[in-house]
Structures are given as C-alpha cells and as structure tokens.
Structure 1
Amino acid sequence: MLSNTALDERRKAAVSGGASMSFPIYVDRAQNAELWDVEGRRYIDFVGGMGALAVGHSNPDVIAAIEAQLKRFSHTFFGTAPYESYVELAERLNKRCNVGGPAKTLLLTTGAEAVENAVKISRAYTKRRGIIVFGGAFHGRTLLTMAMTGKVSPYKQSFGPFPGSIYRAPYPDLYRGVSVEHCLSALETLFETEIEPSQVAAIVIEPLIGEGGYIPSPVEFMIGIRRLCYRHGIVLVADEVQCGMGRSGRLFAIEHTGVEPDLILTAKSLAAGIPLAAVVGKAAIMDSVGVGGLGGTYAGNPLACAAALAVLDVIERDNLLNRAQEVGDRLKAGLQAIQKKRNRSPIGDIRGLGAMIGVELVEDDETRKPARSLTAKVIEEAANRGLLLASAGRHFNVIRFLVPLTISDAVIEESLQIIEESINAAVNGDIGNAPLAQAG
C-alpha cells in the first residue's frame, strides 16, 4: 500500500526543490469539493486546484466531454489542422465577455501565457511599449510576467534581471488606509515622473486582486482607470485568471463594477483544471497582430476546448453564478459569527465577492499588525482536521477560499466548524493536538 511518507521521500529525491508543496498528502481520488489521499483520509478542498475547479473535482459533464473528444482525436495543432470546438468556444466567450463592442478570442494554455499575449497584442495595437501593473498583483511565473508580478518572495527572488518597460502603481486597500484617491493620484504622478501616457500600451489589473490579499477593486477605482485609458488611448486589460469563470458571482469579476475592459484574460477554471487560457477582446485590437504572430503548439487543445464548453454548460444549467453568491453569503455569515465570539478576535477583515473570500488575520485589531505566524498555524491545524486552505497577501496573513461552487451546504458548515476549531487551537497555543483527518 502506498503511503504519504514513502511518496514524499520519492518526491524529495526526484522533484526539483523549487516546486512547492503545502501539505504532505498525496491524492488518490477526488469528487466535487472533497479528496482522499493514498492512505484513505478525507479532506475538504478549499484550495480547488488553486482556483481551477469552480465546477468541482471530477465533474461528470466535463469527464464525459473529454472522453467523447478523446475517442475522436486528442491533438492536431490548430494552426495546421483546425477543429470546430476551438471556434465554438471562441464564439461563446465572445458573447459572454463585455468589452464594449464586437469581440474576438485567442486560446492559449496557461494564465501567464494569456498575460504575455495580452501585452503583445496591446503593444502591436498601440505601437507603444509601457505596461502599468499594481502592487501585490500576480500575473505569472514567466520572465515577463514575473516582472509584472508585485511580490518578490517566493516568485521573483534570484531570477532577475527582468524585462523593462514595466511600471507599478499602488492598489487600493481600504482596510489598511490605502484610498482610491491616493492610488489614482499615484497614477497621475507616474505619468509625470516615470513614463508619459502616450507611451503606455496597457494597464493590466486584477479586478479582485488574488495573491495581493483578496481585495476587490473599488468601483470608483475601476471607473477612474477606465477614464484614464480612454483619455490616453491605453488598452485596459482585466486579468481574470483567478477571479473569473463565476467565482465572484458574475462570470467575470469586473462585471461588478460596470466597467468594460478592452481585453479579458481567463484560465484556471475555464476548463476545470485542463490547461487552457484565453484572451478575449475588442475585435479591432485582437486583429492588430499579423498572421502567425499568435499561437502555440498546445494552444486551444481539443480536449481542453471540450472541457471548457462543458464548464460553460454546467455554469449556465446549474445556475452556478447564483450559487457562488449563496456560497459566499454562507461563508461570510459563518466567519462573522466566529469573529464575534472572541473579544479580541484575530479575524481583522472578511472580504471578497461571491465565493471568492479572503480572511485577514491580525495580531491586534487596533494596530492591524499582520499575523503571519498565526495564519500558518491555522492552515496547518485545519489540514490536520481535514480542511485544505491557502494563504495570500504580502504578509501571508490572508486565508483565501477557492472552494468549488458545487460544494454542498453541509460541507460548508463542516468546514466552518473546522475553521473555528483551528483558529481557537492556534490562538490558544494548543498546536499539534488536532486529530488527523479521518479515513472515509
């Protein structure tokens, strides 16, 4: 019988040490919002393939679509022998993405690849070089997207130098006093001191910043950025790789603001964890690149396209946008109840959109000092009790929830109980006494 310990020893001997691993458990099977390790222990999955499983593990509709496509053909390379599913998926994304006019789509493989191609397309369209991004953003792990990512450890350290013409502005964080006015003013200052707006090709923003701490972009901030882009002829790019595909209660998080970007990027949950990404944007912008300038060997793989079409069907048929809001409301209510039970609760802020929730833990509610160590202990305790969580934020003190939208209410309530027990154990110093996740 396989064991987690034996597999972990094999991992250490065979896998690069630079590849992270949060939990020493090895998955045997998974269904919806639950998974079981090779020793038979059950876990509730609030990490969800780090946001790639909005429709849950092993969704039967996705499995059926992949199996049917696999029996026909698995790969051809769209650039030489195209197929209908790529075209159909592009048509459906064009209809669902609000970009202020007729849209076109480019399919790719990863979120970072979508970001890089958005930069290429924006530069080709504007004939400009500059790209503006925001503090705390995560845009990928390639050399260009690392330059755009606003977090050094662990993503950027030791990997420079990075490509140039990337400029960074502050992102609003109302909980910590970083106002919309300050951030919009900082953009104007950047135009005065770093790069003239006539040389900026694109502003790339996560409408709900992920790695930076699960902070929704205030509506007035997005409106202000949209106005700047219109005024200066800058392409506005919404990076929805993590916050898109229904997680926020809308298909794309930017829809909450009423702002229409020029390009929308999506990946992760687009194909239920099968590698697939897309750039969807205004037709005139998308057509600004010469023939052959865009593509990739695996871009728009037919198995991934079949999975994505099934995902869109499931989201619509099962009304998962409303379900995302229901899941988020239930989680927020439960977390607020936990917060109120303690006079000096470590829960400083509960925020997010739909089911994309972030819980910021602090050492003191007055100083709001980030509780990084406590957050790590809560995550460890939760794993011991059978709930998988992940952190976010510049200080790693935000617990982020990336739960499948198909999770049942009963499993949500079970998870909230585990979270409360884990916080109590971490605060009281009762570490390491939690029962291991049970087999079942």
Structure 2
Amino acid sequence: MVEEPPPKKTILSSIPGVKFEVPKEIKDTPIRNLVKENTKITSFSEHPSLFKAIHDTDNVVINYLCKNIDEILSIVLTKDDKIHGVVLYSVLKMENPVITTSVAKSPNLIYYAFEILISIQPDHELLIRLVNITYIVLHTVTEEFPNMCGYIVQFLNILQNYCSQSFFESILKNEAEMESTHNWLNSIGFAEVIATEISGTQPKGDPYLDYNTYRYTTLLKLVRLSLHCPILAESFRCQKVIQAVLKPIDGAHKFAIEERLCTILDLYNAETYSYFRDFYLTALHIMDDFKDKGSLLRVAATYIILKMIAYDHVIVEHIEDGYIPGIILNIFYRNAESTELVRAAMSLAKAAIEVPSLMEVMTQIVVPPLISEATKPTNLFITSISYDFLIWCKDRADEDQKFAKSLSLIPLWKPFCKKELKKRLDMIEPYDTESLF
C-alpha cells in the first residue's frame, strides 16, 4: 500500500495556536463558492485563501464575514472553540474597515465584554482580545463614538493588567481618529471618574509588589495624558481632580511620590495656581532635601516652585529673602553630577529674576559665584551652564535697565563682561549658542 504524502502546509498552520488539517472539501473549493453554499463560519474560516481574500478586499468574502459577525464574536470572545477563535481573532486584527464597522454595531461585542469584565479574575487571553478589538473599533469608526463600546470605563477596574493601561495610553493620544472617543469621555465625566479612583487608592509599597501603588501611579499617568489632549485638558484641571492628586500619601513609595509631583507640575497653570498654595512648603522641602542626590523628585519640585513664582503673587510675597537663591547655589555646588537638577535650578533662577520683587536678591546672591565658576573652570558642565546663565543675564540686561543696574553693583560683572564673556561670545559667535548648552 502506497503511503499518501503529508498534506501541504496551509496559511492556517502559520498562525500560533492553530493545529489542524483543512478538510479536502473546504481546501479544494473556491472560497466564493463557500459563500454561495452558506458554509458554517467555522468551516469557512479554515479556507487557505481567507486572509488573502480579505487583504485583496474581496467584497463577497468580507460581506459574508460581516453577515456572521455575531457568531464570530461569540467564538473570539469565549473559549468554547479555541482553534477557530484564534483564526477569527486574526481576521479581526486585519483591521478591515468594513468588518470593523460591523463589529462596532454588533450587540455581541458589549454582551461578551461584560461577560469577561464581570469575572472576579478575567481570563487574560480573552481580556487581551477584547482590549485589542475595542481599540481597533475606536481607531477605525471615528465619526461618532460606537455605543457598543461604552464598557471601556470598566477597564479602569483592571489596571493591574498591562493591556488595560496600554489601552488607555493609546486612546488618550492626541490623534484625530480619537476625537470622538475624547468627546464621549468628556460627556460621561471621565475626569471625575479618574478623580474618584485616585481618591480611593492609597499607595503604600513598591509598585511592582503593591497593587495599590501600581494602580495609583497608572491613574496619575492617565491624568497627565489627558492634560495633553485638547478636548480633555480643561475638564481635568478641575477642583476634584486637583484635590485628589493633592491628597496626602504618607508612607508612599518614592515612585508614587515622583508621579504625583509630575502630575502636579502638569496640572499647574495660570488658571489652577490658587489650588496649590498649600503645597508650596512641601515642594520647597523636597527641593531642599540634600540627602536626595538629584532624583526626579527634586527636579519636579524645582519646576513646581518655578511655576509658583511665575504665576502666584501671594507666594512671591511670602518668600524669604535669600532662601531660594541659597538652595539654588547648594544644588549648583553639591549636585553638579545631576545635570537635570542643575538645569532646573538655573531655570528657577531665571524665573525669579523676571519677578521684580525677587530680582535684586537673586542677582546679588547667584551671579557672583557663577562668574567665579566660569573663570575658574573645574567641571565642563558647570562651566557651560554658568556661561549659559551669564549670557542670558547679559542679553536681559540689554533690555531691562533695572536688571542692568543690579548687575552693575556686582564688582566682578563689568571686568567679566569685557574679558571672559567677550572671549566666549567671540568663540561661539559662528555657531548657534543655544545648541552649546
């Protein structure tokens, strides 16, 4: 008896998780004929030409899939038929707009979404499928938000799953395709939902070990992403969100505190500054913590103080003479290895000089040591940042007579301008000076 040769490898065998031989009656029948025969969708999905037909936009095949979309979703979003579930999930991931639109209209989408999401421990594989299918729908059906996708807020309950975090990070991008989604999120009070979630979460331990810390930091990331969406930004700069972010988190992990400071920095602007006055001393304490050698914590705190000086005259009126300039110089000398912190401190010095009531004391305390560092270089970065600041001072003095007068009271200023600073400017004149610092 002659042994039959093994069946030829089909496209289905290249899909992970798919291991079966395509029946001869399916494989040898043109795929359009299967449509005419009203073939069962599971058998139809086994045809070797299925993916090519979708890729080639075969409307007969695509319309047949749309006709059976309810059954397709019942297979993809359950584990009743694992093999065909993998195949049909791959079909949906091809992002054909006609098929995706039919998914968006199917009541089975929301039905199986809630079946998955109400589980105490949602099946990870099904959850990933649901998240990916939902994103494809939102990215494709853009004219208005699909009503069948109203379950997406429930993804906040499963932020411990990275796919949920990734989903929100994707839909909160400032893309034209997501405008209808952003408008829908606004209409349901998404900002207040997030604020409530933050208020109800108390971070305590390492974010990789403590669920509450991971959840807290993820929620803050969603706030920051929303602040960069024009449609959502205004709703997030509200009292409820700000109060939730300002809620004390005593004993929290450093990572959670960093995320909180970065979120405060993004929330702070000309409309919200008054909400943050009580945070001034906390930010100042963090900036002045020299046990911390230059982490993101101190960088963020420094930029928060910068914004407070720029926006809030009440805080400016209560700043002690010489205190902030002293912190700036301590950072400059004791944290020279932390380039981001030193840059933040120099930016703070510039911001303070631009405030009339702070200009004199900041100039007299900060400028002389920087002249010394520029003329006696011991650290290339410190020398460069010193010259950057002093060139900025010279340019500002050309436009601000009061500042020029304040600089003239520094004995080292005029000799420095005539000699070292002139030499430096002559050297870098052919180049873009901003690119050198």
Alignment TM-score > 0.5, same fold = no
Q: TM-score, normalised by structure 1?
A: 0.20
Q: TM-score, normalised by structure 2?
A: 0.20
Higher relative contact order (CA 8 A, sep 6+): 1
Structure in which a larger fraction of residues adopt strand: 1
Structure in which a larger fraction of residues adopt helix: 2
